[in-house]
Amino acid sequence: MKFRRSERLIDMTNYLLEHPGRLVPLTFFAERYSSAKSSISEDLAIIKETFEVRGIGSLNTVPGAAGGVRYMVSIKPEEAVAFIDELCGVMTSPNRLLPGGYLYLTDLLGNPETVNKIGRIIAAAYAKKKVDVIMTMATKGIPLAYAVANYLNVPVVIVRRDNKVTEGSTVSINYVSGSSKRIQTMVLSKRSLAETSNVLIIDDFMKAGGTVNGMVSLLEEFKATVAGIAVLVESDHVEERLVDEYISLIKLSEVDEKDKTIHVTRGNYFTKEAF
Amino acid sequence: MKFRRSERLIDMTNYLLEHPGRLVPLTFFAERYSSAKSSISEDLAIIKETFEVRGIGSLNTVPGAAGGVRYMVSIKPEEAVAFIDELCGVMTSPNRLLPGGYLYLTDLLGNPETVNKIGRIIAAAYAKKKVDVIMTMATKGIPLAYAVANYLNVPVVIVRRDNKVTEGSTVSINYVSGSSKRIQTMVLSKRSLAETSNVLIIDDFMKAGGTVNGMVSLLEEFKATVAGIAVLVESDHVEERLVDEYISLIKLSEVDEKDKTIHVTRGNYFTKEAF
């Protein structure tokens, strides 16, 4: 069965979007559509241009026998800024205030479009870096971790506070929570993470950074490397931050329970060079 | 700026895939590409045909002023069968056996491609039904729940075993775990679920069905309706199942710790009429 160009473009777009970060040999597409490699190359040039113009991502062509094409996610800076500004606006609604100065954000993290957009923004910053695995802490970070992992096409490992029989043997560490100064435990299944992996740590919220710092210590037990740390929201009003190198999309600078005001701004993602 | 047809096809494909289940007015695309509605209709006819031929999904066109086009996910039966058979093969590896007859599946649920494919298979069965919300129990069901939610474009609510300050006020129920017969608690944030919602319950594993049954009871507290129940793995060797109407992708019928054998087969998804 032969495919027309228009059909090839549609199916290739779907295939590339479903396999970000993966090198797809041209012969794969040539066989899939019974087409000449030269036609496939022309198709890819059209897709590449459209992906770039529309901010969908970039297509990198690797020449040679072992070569192929790789789709890497990106986002237009103005699209990321507009989205985060909108999210900041939504977050400052006074009815999000919970007793103790906490913010209700469960609905935002329950919306797949929102979560995917956040995941896309974070993934875009790491698309060209070496990331083998995403790590997060159960449970709030899980949706974000998978959203990022989807765009980078790498597995997710989930750190827990408790041991589960279905995890097999585990490695556990004790760490000091940065804000409450309490000693806590975190546990990771031994076989879930290969040694010397490059690990991107993702979390929804960072205050002093105790949890993130704990994950960094846990990675040392696995002889793994921190490829990066990214959080959705960082809280600004802490004396001493335990973590230095990280990106945040949103900075929560003030919550006034009495006046019912919440002050949030763009995070350091938008001032870092990487962006 | 005018767009050529090839560019429109690529960008529309991306847009539709990113917004499953949503009715997109033709005028939206006409404005996006400064094109006549008649050209957009022709584009959509090409996309529709390719989506159907390649098993990507279906495009439904709603006529009239309030009309538009809606992408709904699907999967070819043979693709679903091949994937589940492969997954069954992977699951029966003896080194997955944990003490107590449990199976190590964390790596499978950590792989976004695997999770997305499972999500796609489940979503395909509910794409034409009325689903407002996906519900799951923390923590193992979360990745699957989001994968299904992505394809149906509906929010996720997460039931927990414990109260969290960041959830605001909650509704909690006690339920009896089907296999251990212990009384347990489950908690859902009050404002996370609107009354009278149609809720699809997703979980990774079901034994007697106590957890799923608990979620059904919790839904009654919210005056919500069960739109469906879908699990990745059901365990076959139980005396009495607490849940009747559900779909499962995989059936675990026997785990022999001594002989190190695991027996799994396709779940009832593949024998139900829906499929």
Of A16, A26, A10, which is closest to residue A71 (Cα–Cα)?
A16
Of residues B7, B47, B166, nearest to A10 (C-beta): B47
Residue B171 has pLDDT above 80, yes or no: yes
Q: Do A7 and B49 touch (CB under 8 A)?
A: yes
Cα A135 to chain centroid, rounded: 10
Query: What pLDDT is stored for residue B181 in this prediction?
Result: 81
Q: Do A6 and B7 touch (CB under 8 A)?
A: no
Counted across chains A and B, CB pairs separated by less than 8 A come out at 155
How close does chain A come to B191, measured CA to CA in Å? 8
Question: Tokens 């098993």 map to which residue?
Answer: B55
Query: What pLDDT is stored for residue B3 in this prediction?
Result: 73
Query: What pLDDT is stored for residue B162 in this prediction?
Result: 86
Contacts of B96 in chain A (CB under 8 A): none
Q: What share of chain B is helix, strand, coil (3-state, %, to 5)?
A: 40, 30, 30
Q: Where are the domains of chain A?
A: 5-73, 77-271
Q: How far apart are CA B205 and CA A166, in angstroms?
A: 11
User: Which one-letter DSSP state was computed for residue B50?
Assistant: H
> At B4, is the secondary structure helix, strand, or coil?
coil
Q: Do A9 and B9 touch (CB under 8 A)?
A: yes
Question: Tokens 């804000």 map to which residue?
Answer: A179
Q: What is the mean pLDDT of chain B?
A: 93
Peptide bond between residue A170 and the one before it cis (omega within 30 degrees of 0)? no
Query: What pLDDT is stored for residue A244 in this prediction?
Result: 79
Q: How far apart are CA B68 and CA A238, in angstroms?
A: 50
Query: What pLDDT is stored for residue B165 in this prediction?
Result: 81
Query: What pLDDT is stored for residue A273 in this prediction?
Result: 56
Q: Which of A4, A5, A8, A14 to mutate to test the interface with B (most CBs of B within 10 A)?
A: A14
Q: Which of B6, B10, B118, B200 to mutate to test the interface with A (most CBs of A within 10 A)?
A: B10
ipTM of the predicted structure?
A: 0.95
How close does chain A come to B131, measured CA to CA in Å? 14
How close does chain B come to A67, measured CA to CA in Å? 22
Of B137, B167, B130, B171, which is closest to residue B152 (Cα–Cα)?
B130
Q: How far apart are CA B157 and CA B134, in angstroms?
A: 6
DSSP string for B139-201: TTTHHHHHHHHHHHT--EEEEBSS--GGG-SEEEEEEE-TTT--EEEEEEEGGGS-TT-EEEE
Of residues A50, A165, A192, nearest to B98 (C-beta): A165
Query: What pLDDT is stored for residue A3 in this prediction?
Result: 73
Q: How far apart are CA B106 and CA A88, in angstroms?
A: 35
Q: Which two tokens stand for residue A201?
A: 């740590």
Q: Which two tokens stand for residue B235?
A: 């365990």
Q: Which two tokens stand for residue A209?
A: 């950074």
Query: What pLDDT is stored for residue A87 in this prediction?
Result: 98
Mean pLDDT score, B200-219: 95
Residue B130 has pLDDT above 80, yes or no: yes
pLDDT per position as a tens digit, B45-101: 999 999 999 999 999 999 988 889 999 999 999 999 999 999 999 999 999 999 888
pTM over 0.90: yes
Q: Do A11 and B54 touch (CB under 8 A)?
A: yes
Q: Do A54 and B11 touch (CB under 8 A)?
A: yes
User: Which one-letter DSSP state was computed for residue B75?
Assistant: -
Tell me the CA end-to-end span of chain A in Å, nearest whole number.
44
pLDDT per position as a tens digit, B241-251: 788 799 999 99
Contact A50, B7 (CB under 8 A): yes
Residue B273 has pLDDT above 60, yes or no: no
CATH class of the domain comprising A5-73: mainly alpha
| Residues paired with B97 in a beta bridge | B103
pLDDT per position as a tens digit, B5-57: 999 999 999 999 999 999 999 999 999 999 999 999 999 999 999 999 999 99
Q: Residue A185: CA atoms inside 13 Å, Cβ hemisphere, count?
A: 8
Q: Which of B109, B113, B144, B146 to mutate to test the interface with A (most CBs of A within 10 A)?
A: B146
Of residues A11, A17, A142, nearest to B142 (C-beta): A142
Each residue's pLDDT expressed in tens, for chain A with a length of 275 residues? 567 999 999 999 999 999 999 999 999 999 999 999 999 999 999 999 999 999 999 999 999 888 899 999 999 999 999 999 999 999 999 999 998 888 999 999 999 999 999 999 999 999 999 999 999 999 999 999 999 999 999 999 999 998 888 888 999 999 988 777 889 999 999 999 999 999 999 999 999 899 999 999 999 999 999 999 999 999 986 677 788 799 999 999 988 888 999 999 999 999 975 54
Of A97, A151, A117, A112, which is closest to residue A250 (Cα–Cα)?
A117
Q: Do B156 and A143 touch (CB under 8 A)?
A: yes
How close does chain A come to B185, measured CA to CA in Å? 17
CA angle A212, A186, B119 (to 5 degrees): 80
Q: Identify the closest residue of chain A to B159 by CA–CA distance.
A: A139
Residue B104 has pLDDT above 90, yes or no: yes
Contact A233, A205 (CB under 8 A): yes
Q: What is the largest CA-CA distance in chain A?
A: 69
Q: How far apart are CA A40 and CA A72, in angstroms?
A: 18
> What CATH topology corresponds to A77-271?
Rossmann fold (3.40.50)
**Ramachandran angles phi, psi of B257, nearest 5°:** -65, -35
CA angle B229, B83, A5 (to 5 degrees): 110
DSSP string for chain A: ----HHHHHHHHHHHHHHSTT-EE-HHHHHHHTT--HHHHHHHHHHHHHHHHHTTSEEEEEE-STT-EEEEEE---HHHHHHHHHHHHHHHT-GGGEETTTEE--HHHHH-HHHHHHHHHHHHHHHTTS---EEEEETTTTHHHHHHHHHHHT--EEEEBSS--GGG-SEEEEEEE-TTT--EEEEEEEGGGS-TT-EEEEEEEEESSSHHHHHHHHHHHHTT-EEEEEEEEEEE---S--S--S-EEEEEEEEEETTTTEEEEEE-GGGTSTT-
